[in-house]
Amino acid sequence: MIHPPDCDCDAYACVLRRKGIGFSYDATPTHRARRPWRPKVNCSWEAGIAGEHRPGGFFSPFRGEDSLRLIHLKEAAERRREFSEVRRRQIQGPALQE
């Protein structure tokens, strides 16, 4: 039941209103009330480019089979074992491969 602004009953809301204390509709969250703005959380870690940081501050991105396509972090995480094997063979060099 909604009471008029000059109500003299003993309801808690009416007593507070007589004392000059009121609650804004924004103070009580509902599905209709406008929520305070929050920055959007960037959950798309997959959008980053996978690669390695080399001495001197250089970044070397991982490339796909056609060597034109960059590998994104999600694909690198899914194919981590394959990329580790390729990288290990590259570090060993052709002289050390069997």
Region 13-23 average pLDDT: 80
Max CA distance (Å), the chain: 95
pLDDT tens-digit series, residues 25-65 = 666 666 665 666 777 665 556 578 888 888 888 888 888 88
pLDDT at 40: 65
User: Model confidence at 81, in pLDDT bands (50, 70, 90)?
Assistant: very high
CB proximity list for 76: less than 8 A, separation 6 or greater: 50, 62, 83
Report the distance separating Cα 45 and Cα 31, nearest Å.
30
Note the pTM of the prediction, 2 decimals: 0.42
- The count of structural domains within the chain is 1
For residue 87, the surrounding DSSP H or E stretch is helix 80-92
pLDDT at 46: 59
Q: Is residue 53 part of a domain?
A: yes
With 0-12 CB in 10 A as exposed, 13-18 as middle and 19+ as buried, what is 74?
middle
Q: Is residue 40 part of a domain?
A: no
Q: Is residue 68 part of a domain?
A: yes
The rounded mean pLDDT for the chain is 77
Q: Is residue 27 part of a domain?
A: no
Q: Is residue 2 part of a domain?
A: no
